[in-house]
Chain A
Amino acid sequence: MYVELSGINKSFGSFQAARDVSFVLAEGTLGALLGPSGSGKTTILRMIAGLESPDAGDIRVGGVRVNDVRPSQRGVGFVFQNYALFRYMTVFDNIAFGLRSQKAPKAKIQERVGELLALVNMEGLEKRYPGQLSGGQRQRVAFARALAPSPRLLLLDEPFAAIDAKVRRDLRSWLRGMIDRLRITSIFVTHDQAEAIEVADQIIITNGGRVEQTGTPLELYREPATPFVARFVGDSQVLEGYGRLVGFGGAPPDGQCAIRPEFISVCPPGEPVQYENSAEEAEVVSLAFRGSSLEVGLRVKEFALTAGYSLESGPLSVGDKVKILIFRVYAFQGEKVKLVNNDRLASLGNGYNFAI
């Protein structure tokens, strides 16, 4: 494994920001550190870069323990949360900074900076100051600056946080494409699960300074290992006492579970219901257009649920009484999570037959 953290602990005074953090990342892949605010993502990234030193544990990059290697010798490029561009230097000087620190020859610097400017589509803007650039342009300069000294590992702290939604999507796929092209091992921090799922090869979920789970986006999505992950990934909702739902009678009375919109099927009103005795009565309380489908807010018994609804499935309006089928839920069992299927639908066959 290219990047390996094992048993990392870090405290700031009496506050423990990282607790026994361990994970690995393969060479040439893109990892995402995903977690809520304050869960220790930046701290972990800074420890890998050498800006912070762990109290205990080992950090390896390329098989070599780097705990005692100076930050500048670790071969990491770092894109800061707000880019930290040198405000009093031009774009050119920003990108050239690392090369000049290494005392690279002038011609080489000129060539490399030109290369990077082309890479990030910033040719012709090299004489500008960061204050004269748009958010997206600044991000690309920060990216070029981090790449200029040819690092072997690229770390990005919330690279899209300061950019508005539209540009963000473009930048996301741009970054993904760039990393694929350069084949540089990278780790980025985000608290947006959709972003991590869309872009990353490997996701490391942090919570309260701990790593909750690591895996590919699909693994995390399909097999959340802890209630926290089940809640955090996907548009999950948490239900308490889900045993009152039809088909889940086997649950403990105060059993908690997480449910995703795609676990629920809404039968169009007026159409025959296929599995009548497995269905729930529900009332449509809200409708929101989500581009290619509708997001339906439902009231079932005392629960509020959200489900998806295809625009092709016939008209639906607020106040409609509909039948819904709940296929499965993620039941919380202490610190573990178990996939529980609707027992009245058992005959339909279990397993992952839902498309993602």
Chain B
Amino acid sequence: MAYVREERGWARLILITVSFLFVALMLILPLAQVLSKAFEHGIKPFWEAVSDEYSVKAARLSALTAILAVLLNTFFGIAAAWAITRFAFRGKGFLITIIDIPFAVSPVIAGLVFVMTFGRLGWAYPFLQEHDLKIIFATPGLVLATIFVTLPFVAREIIPVLAARGTDEEEAAVLMGAGLWRTFWKVTLPHIRWALLYGIILCSARAMGEFGAVSVVSGHLRGKTNTLPLHIEILFREYHTLQSFSVATILVIVAILILIARHVVERVGRKEAEYYVR
């Protein structure tokens, strides 16, 4: 018996060590590398790179894109999750499947889809020209591409929660004369708030970091359509390694903040569920 337990002890130790080593090698070391490179010559060059006009503009654009994409996807995610779990309608299975498309499709293809629609060769181009609208190589294109790749996050988090809970609390509310709005705020939202917040956090993380789809529709106009990831890549390509890594530090810090937020949301959500649901 002792032998078996010892064996298990060894297996345990090896698996844990391997996991930690792998994470250290693949995640922590490269990230540490980014930081150490960024601060290689102290804080001054770092600060210069980060506060550079184009870097600030890229950061602003990234934030704007992420905020818009997250807002729209939150709205869409709640609406879709509500519809899927609360109503019976034709094409429900289809809707559930296509919400997942962004998970399956390469972001580059997402970008190309928009280029083929709104770009010079796209069918909507004449119309856009006529009304003096610009989507591709402009901010709307970036937002569209970001929405596309982050579309499933919010819906995916809420659907299981709503589905598991059934509809009778909402029905009770409606029977007692509550309107749709009151029913949503007072009855539905308390149930999904943590799942929703979790979805929003994941969605933000992905939106901030999106590279592929955005790269296709951006056109890389420095100071105009460059988001942070694109800006970092350009700096790197132009051998501005230090600047590149300095700007990357911003994304790393954002990522760490998001991770912490995620952790907190998960914990608080679980605690609350234990308190209210027996």
Q: Which residues of A contact B (CB under 8 A)?
A: 49-51, 71-72, 76-78, 80-82, 84-89, 97-98, 101-102, 129-132, 145, 148-149
> Residue on A with the closest CB to B172?
A84
Cβ–Cβ < 8 Å partners of A85 in chain B: 169
Q: Are B276 and A101 in contact (CB under 8 A)?
A: no
For B189, give the chain A residue with the smallest CB separation.
A88
Given contacts A80-B168, A82-B168, A101-B182, contact A87 B277 (CB under 8 A): yes
Q: Which chain B residues border A97 with CB–CB below 8 Å?
A: 173, 176, 178, 186
A-B contact pairs, 11 of them (CB 8 A): A72-B174, A77-B175, A81-B168, A84-B169, A87-B277, A89-B186, A97-B173, A101-B173, A131-B275, A131-B277, A145-B172
In the complex, the chain A residue whose C-beta lies closest to that of B187 is A86
Known: A80-B168, A101-B182. A88 touches B175 (CB 8 A): no
> Most chain-A Cβ atoms within 10 A of its Cβ — which of B169, B172, B175, B179?
B175
B177 adjacent to chain A (CB < 8 Å):
yes
Q: With A and B bound together, what is the CA distance between A174 and B36 in angstroms?
A: 74
Q: Which residue on chain B has the smallest CB distance to residue A102?
A: B177
Compute how far the CA of A102 lies from the CA of B187 in the bound complex, rounded to whole angstroms. 16
Q: Which residues of A contact B191 (CB under 8 A)?
A: 87-88
A72-B177, A87-B276 known; A78-B172 Cβ under 8 A: yes
Per-position 1/0 for B155-187, Cβ under 8 A of A:
000000000000011011111111100100011
Q: How far is the CB of A109 from chain B (nearest CB, A)?
A: 13
**Do A131 and B175 touch across chains, with their CB atoms under 8 A apart?**
no
| A72 touching B169, Cβ below 8 Å | no
CA distance A123 to B262 in the complex (A): 40
A275 to chain B, nearest CB (A): 57
Report the nearest A residue to B272, measured CB to CB. A88
Nearest CB of chain A from residue B243's CB, rounded to whole Å: 49
The distance from the CB of A205 to the nearest CB of chain B, in whole angstroms, is 25
Nearest CB of B to A34, in Å: 22
Answer whether residue B278 sits at the interface, using C-beta atoms and an 8 A cutoff.
Answer: yes
CB distance from A187 to the nearest CB of B (A): 15
- Which of B174, B177, B187 makes the CB contact (< 8 A) with A149? B177
Contacts of B187 in A (CB 8 A): 86
Q: Is B42 part of the binding interface, using a Cβ–Cβ cutoff of 8 Å? A: no
